[in-house]
Amino acid sequence: MSYHIVTTDDEAAIRKVLGIMLTRAGYEVSTCSQGAELLALLAQRPVDLILLDIKMPKINGLDLLVQIKREWPHIPVIMVTAFGDLETGIKAMRLGASDYLTKPVGQQLLLKTVDEVLHNTSGPQMHQTEQQLSEALSTLRDVRMGTLEAFSETLAQKDTYTKIHSLRVRDLAVAIGKAMKMSQDSLDTLAGGALLHDIGKIGIPEEILNKPTSLTAEEYEMVKTHPEIGVRIASHLSQLDPFLPIITSHHERLDGTGYPHGLSAAQIPMEVRIISLADAFEAMTAQRPYRDALPIEFALEELKANSGTQFDPRLVDLFIEEELFHL
């Protein structure tokens, strides 16, 4: 019996590779680049298995999965996505996916998984796979946290204040996220982004970072390069991708006068806005080489004064109403 398998991915090269591997194994293969194309194909002819990419254009993979399971519940679906998206993979399993593969997909694992799903889609197998995914996600988080701590320690060797500052920003940012009832994934992004937001200061001379007096205009311009330096450092590790927006944009302002890119309003993600507020409040209330810590009351007035221009007004109100500044 020849099974008909559909592969979906918005990247033509990946569709082609998967198609070649499956065709050589004796399967009939169709390929789709987006959700509407897949749904049209399912309505036209029988399909035995779908390899569904989570990050699809227009209609994402999870929404497609829900629709497929509603209209064609007998067709097993294997989700395919990047390694760093394991938590989404677990969600897909709970929505009815039979299994989960991570890119790049090797031929041996691909054919083994396809064969197992075509011949065994029972509940116990799916439960076992979900448990394996949960364990993999836990391992990924441990590896990521170890990387973050290593970066933090590296920076501490150059500037002890920055490490202490980053830990304090993390606590404040996560507290804000919890008050907003954000998901655990978003809280993890806040925690990791806070630890890494100033990692680019590794590239700033120590005599500037630890200067006991105010910076000159030239020195300040040099300090302002730390977000872009941080992105260059962190972008070498794909597991740190979720933190890149925080690293590069934590000095942007709602009114567009921040740096390095002059982003404004809706261009600034919520996680970045949270880190920006926590970063500014901690910096004001911490002891610095060139000045004493400012009173909390003064810092709160500064947040209010810059609400709507530098900071998100909703976050300022929440921060004060929930008295998160006492942390």
Task: Supply the residues annotated as catalytic.
Answer: 201
Report how far residue 94's alpha carbon sits from residue 67's, in angstroms, rounded to the nearest whole number.
14
The token pair at 95 is 């929505």
- In the beta sheet, which residues pair with residue 291? 288
User: Residue 263 to residues 253, 257, 258, 260: CA-CA distances in angstroms?
Assistant: 7, 8, 7, 8
- N-terminal to C-terminal alpha carbon distance within the chain: 65
Cβ within 8 Å of residue 239, ≥6 positions away: 84, 140, 143, 144, 147
Q: CA torsion, points 7, 8, 14, 19, in degrees to nearest 10? A: 20
Report how far residue 125's alpha carbon sits from residue 121's, in angstroms, rounded to the nearest whole number.
7
The token pair at 186 is 């978003």
User: Residue 138 to residues 87, 90, 133, 252: CA-CA distances in angstroms?
Assistant: 10, 12, 9, 33
Cβ within 8 Å of residue 277, ≥6 positions away: 176, 303, 311, 312, 315, 316, 319
Q: Any idea what DSSP says for residue 311? A: B
Signed CA dihedral, 97, 101, 107, 112: sign only: negative
Picking from 227, 224, 229, 228, the residue whose alpha carbon sits closest to that of residue 203 is 229
